[in-house]
Amino acid sequence: MSKVITHQNKKYGYLVYNSFISKYDKQLEDVFSNFKAEGIESLILDLRYNGGGAVSTAILMSSMIAPKSAAKQVFIRTKYNKILEDYIKKTESDPESFFINRLFDHPNNLNLNKLVVLTTNGTASASEMIIYGLKPYMEVYQIGAETTGKYYASMTIDDVENHNWAIQPLILKSENANNSINYNTGLLPDLALEESWTAKIYPLGDVREEFLARALYYLTGQYPSSFSLKNSSAIKPLQPANIETKINNPLKYEMHIDLKR
C-alpha cells in the first residue's frame, strides 16, 4: 500500500512493500510516478514484513529513490569464490554483469537525499540491499529492529529425477559500493524500536501508528498531533542480535524445495 502524507506543510511518501516480486514492477513504477507527481520531500519505506525477493526489483526501486547523481554508479558487487570467479571470467562474454549491479536512469526517479526505512528482524535479503546499497549515496535512517543479516546468495543443485535430493550451497556474498557491511550482524537501526502488542495498534499508514509517527518526527522534528507518546513502546537500548542463537537454530529460516516444477 502507498499514500502521500502531508505533515508540517510538506508531503512525504509512505510505501509498505512486503516482497520483491518482479511481475509487479509496473505497479511499483506507478507508485513512484505518483510520488513524483505529488512532489514528495522524502520517502518512508516500510519493509518490516519483507523477507526479500528479486534483486532486479531492488535495483529498480533503488534507481527510483536515489539521487540522480547516483545513476550508473555501483549499487551492489557480488563476490564469488575464486573457482567460480575464474570460471565466469573465462566463459562469459559480459562478466561484469555477474559481478556488478548498477543503478540506472529512470523517468520516475525522485532524486531524494534522505530515506527512512522501517525494519524488524524479519527484514532480509533484497530489503537489506536497499539499505546498504543506497547508503553510499544518500542518508538512510533506519527505525526498528536489527535486520536478519542475509547478505548471501545460493543456488540449487539437485538430482530430483533419480534420487530426490537437493543441496543449496552459498555461492556469493553482496558488497555495497564502499564495502561497509558488517557480515557478523544484521543492519543495526539508528533508532531501535520493537513493535508493541500491548499498545493500541493502528493500521499501516495511520499517522498514529508508532513507527510511522517516529519516522515523521525524524523528518520534521514534530510528531503528528494525533500521536500519543503515552501509548507508545519503550525504546530499547541498541544491542546486536545473539549470533549464537542463529547458529543453534539453523532451521529458523528453513528453505523448501518445490518438487512439482
3-class DSSP string for 183-241:
CCCCCCCCEECCCCCCCCCCCCCCCCCHHHHHHHHHHHCCCCCCCCHHHCCCCCCCCCC
The CA-based angle 181-182-183, given to 5 degrees, is: 100
Greater model confidence, 33 or 240: 33
Q: Which three cell numbers stand for residue 233?
A: 513502546
Which residues are CB-neighbours of 95 under 8 A, at least 6 positions away?
A: 88, 89
Q: How many CB atoms lie within 10 A of CB 108?
A: 18
State pTM to two decimals: 0.85
How many residues are recorded in the chain?
261
Q: What is the pLDDT of residue 240?
A: 52
Band (pLDDT 50/70/90 cuts) for residue 261 is very low
Which residues are CB-neighbours of 225 under 8 A, at least 6 positions away?
A: none
Nearest of 48, 208, 194, 12 to residue 131 by alpha carbon: 48
Q: Quote the percentage of the chain above a pLDDT of 70.
A: 88
- In this predicted structure, which of 117-121, 124-128, 150-154 has the lowest mean pLDDT? 150-154
Greater model confidence, 173 or 233: 173
Average pLDDT value for residue range 208-236:
85
SS3 151: coil
**pLDDT tens digit sequence for 123-147:** 999 999 999 999 999 999 999 999 9
**pLDDT tens digit sequence for 158-177:** 988 888 899 988 889 999 99
Average pLDDT value for residue range 30-49:
98
Average pLDDT value for residue range 188-213:
90
Q: What is the pLDDT of residue 229?
A: 76
All domains of the chain, ordered by start, with CATH?
Answer: 2-75+103-149+177-248 (3.90.226.10)
Q: What is the pLDDT of residue 196?
A: 79
Query: Any idea of the CA torsion for 207, 209, 210, 215, to the nearest 10 degrees?
Result: -40
Alpha carbons 17 and 30: distance in angstroms, whole number: 14
Q: What is the pLDDT of residue 153?
A: 84
Q: Is the pLDDT of residue 249 over 70?
A: no
Cell 557478523 belongs to 184
